[in-house]
Amino acid sequence: MITTSGLTKVYRSRGREFTALGGVDLHVREGEVYGVVGQSGAGKSTLIRCVNLLERPTSGTVTVAGQDLTALAGRGPRASAELRRARSRIGMVFQHFNLLSSRTVQDNVELPLEILGLARRERERKALELLDLVGLADKARNYPGQLSGGQKQRVGIARALAGDPKVLLSDESTSALDPETTRSILQLLRDLNRQLGLTVLLITHEMDVVKTICDSAALMKSGRIVESGTVAELLATPGSELAAELFPVGGEPSGPNRTVVDVTFHGEAATQPVVSQLARTYNIDISILGAAMDTVGGRQIGRMRIELPGRFEENVVPIGFLREQGLQVDVADVNTPAPAAAPAEEGAK
């Protein structure tokens, strides 16, 4: 649905060059929620702004819904009529909502429809329908200044949906919101993704966002995508940095002569209560040192660090049992201290 290939963006100022994007190949499938994570300055924002050409890429192509947008861009700073038409079919939500304070909520949602040239009656009907969809039908006549952050973002989402887009771009849309509001906005995005078959590309620095709604994710570092894939694929990749940040596990062994094992749950197999089965079958005591688990649709996803009594050699059979269940099992190196359990919370600016 969204494909970028060899996307680069180089900023030049006073003879100095700064490469914001160094050749990004991104592939977002139709109907999925795709999250791009990375620290500030990694180029995520430049990337998403290149997707609808708010930022003109230095080289490379962007294809959205089969249309090569980079080919539509004129040469000057002004957007061609075709590019503008293509943009109207791509919704975008922003971190700071970017609502016009001079217009009512309803008029804000009507703005893209005005640009599309819809008749007043039609605009009104559509705007109210969209406000109803995001649960703000009663705020139509209010001004954005009278709404809370979460409500403003709902208006932003309604506005982004006005052009019946197939694709929604979300530029840190929950980063200015408190955790509870973030959850409700993510829930809304998830619902829209399911109900309307909307493809969502979102960028965020919050791992929780990816964990909550993303089907796939990519990690960006200094202008490049260093890892990408579906959440299950990432989990299955040994040594995946993204998986480790999404599902961080930690914990030190409680004493000598213990075997510490990291068990990764993903895919079909992770439906059984394996830990208690293991304990019962082999009559061993298992301690859980750390875990980062979620249960989605009755299936467990995540990782768990467990401790088995005895050395590794004594635990070959139980570990084999776990592998037989289709779980990915890595024996953690006990001597090296485990990484910190909490992901770097750089969120609250």
Partner 1 sequence: MTWSEMQPLLRDACLDTLFMVWWSTVYAVVGGLPLGILLVLTDRGGLLRNALVNKVLGAVLNLGRSLPFIILIVWLIPFSRFVVGTSIGPSAAVVALALGAIPFFARLVETAIREVDHGLVEAVQAMGGGTWTIIFKVLLPQALPSLIAGLTTTVITLIGYSAMAGAVGGGGLGNLAITYGYQRREDTLMNVTIVLLIVIVTVVQLAGDFAVRRLAARGGRQAPAAGLRRLLPAQRKPATATTAPATAAPEAVSDSVPASAPEKAV
Candidates 15-23, 98-106, 204-212, 224-232: pick the segment binding partner 1 (CB under 8 A): 98-106
Whether the CA torsion 127, 129, 133, 138 is positive or negative: it is positive
CA–CA distance, 77 with 217 (Å, rounded to integer): 32
Tokens of 177: 């919101």
With CB under 8 A as the contact rule, which of the stretches 161-169, 208-216, 229-237, 316-324 interacts with partner 1? 161-169
Contact pick of 27, 56, 103, 299 for partner 1 (by CB under 8 A):
103
User: Of the ranges 59-67, 162-170, 286-294, 308-316, which one interacts with partner 1 (CB under 8 A)?
Assistant: 162-170
Nearest distance in Å: CB 111, partner 1:
6
Residue 45 CA to residue 245 CA, distance in Å, equals 20
Q: How far is the CB of 145 from partner 1 (least distance, A)?
A: 3
Among the residue ranges 92-100, 212-220, 234-242, 271-279, the one whose residues contact partner 1 (CB under 8 A) = 92-100
Q: Is 246 helix (H, G, I), strand (E, B) or coil?
A: helix
Give the span between the Cα atoms of 335 and 19, in whole angstroms. 40
What six digits make up the tokens of 185?
């906005």
Per CB under 8 A, contacts with partner 1 among 29-88 are 52, 54, 77-79, 81, 84-88
Query: Binder to partner 1 among 9, 154, 159, 305 (CB under 8 A)?
Result: 159
Per CB under 8 A, 114 contacts partner 1: yes
Angle between the N-to-C axes of helices 149-160 and 105-116, in degrees from 0 to 180, rounded to the nearest 10: 20
Contact between 118 and partner 1 by CB under 8 A: the answer reads no
- Please list the alpha-helical segments (H only) found in the chain: 44-51, 69-72, 81-87, 105-116, 120-133, 149-160, 179-196, 207-213, 231-236, 241-246, 274-282, 316-324
> Residues in the site for partner 1, rule: CB under 8 A?
52, 54, 77-79, 81, 84-88, 90, 92, 94, 96, 98-103, 111-112, 114-116, 141-146, 159-160, 162-163, 169
